[in-house]
Amino acid sequence: MRRRGRPLQSEIDPSGKERDLSRLLFTGGTVVTAEGSYPADVLVEDEKIVAVGTNLDTNGTETVDASGKLIMPGFIDAHTHMDMPFGGTVTADDWATGTETAAAGGTTMIIDFALQSEGGTLAGAFETWTEKAAGKAVIDYGFHVAITDLRDDIKTELPSLAEKGVASVKIFMAYKGTPLYTEDDDLFEVLQLSREAGVLVLVHAENGDVISKLQEQALARGDIAPKFHALTRPPEVEAEATNRAIRLAEVAGAPILVVHVSCAPALEAIHLAHERGQTVYAETCPQYFALEYEDLAKEGFEGAKYVCSPPLRDPSNRPALWNGLKTGDLQIFGSDHCAFNYEGQKELGKDNFVNIPNGLPGAEERAMTLWTLGVREGKLSENQFVAVLSTNQARIYGAYPKKGTLAPGADADIVLWDPDLSITATAGNRHGNVDYTPYEGMEFHGGPASVYVRGGLVYKDGEIVGERGSGRFVERSFTATKGLEARV
């Protein structure tokens, strides 16, 4: 089996012929990119794609039989939280298990959120996250830096992020009462500074003040169960903050990206901005398609397994979200993988829903959810599937064309997608480090048969085969996205 990190060399096969292991030919499959689908072979040499086509010069090249499979660019998940302190605890997946569960879902690169610590610097966040990933990541990665404390020295420091290959920062408009929460004046100034620095601002858009007030009122009534997490964060609270962030970006003359859009009213604010011609990018996530408010309202404390922010919604929001993905109002499908164990972590909120750590695992289920509910149901084409999982993310986040495409010169990040694969999710067959899955019992149709990062096999037929520590940091540059239309 081809393993990551193995020196590329030649070998003599059993028939005595020399085989060139520095080259790899994917043959017999259908190439599927964001632009189109066609039968072709893909030739890889020294970690890069060197040719896509037919009748390639392949004498002595090791081959991978891709017949019956779709050959896709590796998926990018620009919304993960590995080994992150949050909600009074630390996320359950570190950079080893977190990148493994992502790889098992067809992901070859993540962009994770490096948090500025209290009193800390942006460089400090970058260094801390670099250390967390070192020796552990099985796939490639980048960082967004979450600005939590906009001091004067941070304002001066911000432009240096671009030099480190960090092309994006994040601001949390929610989580009032925690160090993450950011007021409008700071959000506005970050937008101005980032525009000058060539850095894209991502926002978690929920009105932190109103949520805090609604939570206080719920607790005063004795409403402590998990379902009150959603009832104190109604769609309007997300829609208001989404519109506010977009308008602040408009005043600042800056592009903006709204993460984890969960509901129709928030999407409406994005759609209206696009009608005005404003550059607004937006992401949605698998949990808003596969899970729903009723999961939170389950008996007893079971609903804690479904607590994330924005919360799970009524399914009546879904047609609008599908339409957003189809028309380009939503360009990105990220996981927001932020895993906590039920035992000992979700349980922190047993007597008060406010203390349940917010977040769900989903990196492994992301692409399979989109294929099962979207492509198989005729809501999205296979090319739109590749666009929102890979190509749009590479372009918007400044990693294109190194990542996000199957073209000569690109990194050989490849997913062999098996449309005939079926799997029922259960906690025991997940590759992460979590004691439950919110997708328990869900049947997925279509999934990755094998996954390659820079030509090296990292996942095959249910097994992780990549070496921990083989993932590399990818420098990104927002200039790569200059001039990109809001609807990619």
Instruction: Tell me how crowded residue 351 is: count the other CB atoms within 10 A of its CB.
Output: 9
Q: Which is nearer to ligand URP, 260 or 402 (CB)?
A: 260
Rounded to a whole number of angstroms, the minimum distance from the CB of residue 223 to ligand URP is: 20
CA atoms within 13 A on the CB side of 242: 28
CA dihedral sign of residues 53, 54, 55, 61: positive
Ranges within 289-328 binding ligand URP (CB under 6 A) = 308-309
Alpha-carbon distance 252 to 239, whole Å?
A: 20
CA dihedral sign of residues 306, 339, 359, 167: negative
Rounded to a whole number of angstroms, the minimum distance from the CB of residue 97 to ligand URP is: 17
Rounded to a whole number of angstroms, the minimum distance from the CB of residue 337 to ligand URP is: 9
Ranges within 336-365 binding ligand URP (CB under 6 A) = 336, 338, 358-359
Alpha-carbon distance 361 to 105, whole Å?
A: 12
Which listed option, Zn ion, ligand URP, none, makes contact with residue 432 (CB within 5 to 8 Å by class)?
none
* Residue 202: its H or E element: strand 200-204
Q: Which residue, 250, 267, 115, 268, is CA-closest to 187?
A: 250
φ/ψ of 245, rounded to 5, equals -60, -40
SS3 call for 17: coil
SS3 call for 121: coil
Rounded to a whole number of angstroms, the minimum distance from the CB of residue 287 to ligand URP is: 9
232 binds ligand URP per the rule CB under 6 A: no
Rounded to a whole number of angstroms, the minimum distance from the CB of residue 144 to ligand URP is: 11
Which listed option, ligand URP, Zn ion, none, makes contact with residue 83 (CB within 5 to 8 Å by class)?
none
434 binds ligand URP per the rule CB under 6 A: no
Q: Which residue, 447, 438, 439, 390, is CA-closest to 413?
A: 390
Q: Which two tokens stand for residue 385?
A: 């599937």
Ranges within 286-345 binding Zn ion (CB under 5 A) = 336
> What CA dihedral angle connects 171, 177, 183 and 186, to 10 degrees?
-60
Rounded to a whole number of angstroms, the minimum distance from the CB of residue 319 to Zn ion is: 24
Which listed option, ligand URP, Zn ion, none, makes contact with residue 29 (CB within 5 to 8 Å by class)?
none
E strand intervals along 256-311: 256-258, 280-284
Contacts of 14 by beta carbon, 8 Å cutoff, 6+ apart: none
Binding flags for ligand URP, 52-71, as an x/- string (CB under 6 A)? --------------------
Which listed option, Zn ion, ligand URP, none, makes contact with residue 112 (CB within 5 to 8 Å by class)?
none
Binding flags for ligand URP, 257-276, as an x/- string (CB under 6 A)? ---x----------------
Binding flags for ligand URP, 387-416, as an x/- string (CB under 6 A)? ------------------------------
Q: Which is nearer to ligand URP, 168 or 309 (CB)?
A: 309
204 binds Zn ion per the rule CB under 5 A: yes
Rounded to a whole number of angstroms, the minimum distance from the CB of residue 358 to ligand URP is: 3
Opening angle at CA 322, ends 331 and 251, nearest 5: 45
Q: Which residue, 362, 415, 360, 421, is CA-closest to 391?
A: 415
Contacts of 185 by beta carbon, 8 Å cutoff, 6+ apart: none
Binding flags for ligand URP, 77-96, as an x/- string (CB under 6 A)? ----x---------------
Binding flags for ligand URP, 168-207, as an x/- string (CB under 6 A)? ------------------------------------x---
Q: Which residue, 445, 421, 425, 442, is CA-closest to 434?
A: 425
CA dihedral sign of residues 50, 55, 59, 64: positive
Decide: 319 and 288 in contact? Cβ < 8 Å: no
Binding flags for Zn ion, 161-180, as an x/- string (CB under 5 A)? --------------------
DSSP-derived pairing of the beta strands 61-65 and 18-27: parallel
455 binds ligand URP per the rule CB under 6 A: no
Q: Which is nearer to ligand URP, 182 or 309 (CB)?
A: 309
Total residues in contact with ligand URP, by rule CB under 6 A: 9
Instruction: Tell me how crowded residue 43 is: count the other CB atoms within 10 A of its CB.
Output: 22
Alpha-carbon distance 152 to 402, whole Å?
A: 35
DSSP state, residue 313: -
Which listed option, Zn ion, ligand URP, none, makes contact with residue 453 (CB within 5 to 8 Å by class)?
none
Ranges within 346-405 binding Zn ion (CB under 5 A) = none
Which listed option, ligand URP, Zn ion, none, makes contact with residue 398 (CB within 5 to 8 Å by class)?
none
Rounded to a whole number of angstroms, the minimum distance from the CB of residue 29 to Zn ion is: 34
Q: Which is nearer to ligand URP, 172 or 478 (CB)?
A: 172
Q: Which is nearer to Zn ion, 384 or 437 (CB)?
A: 437
Q: Which two tokens stand for residue 464?
A: 């992780």
Q: Which is nearer to ligand URP, 271 or 346 (CB)?
A: 346
- Which residue ranges make up the site for ligand URP (CB under 6 A)? 81, 204, 260, 308-309, 336, 338, 358-359
- Which residue ranges make up the site for Zn ion (CB under 5 A)? 204, 336
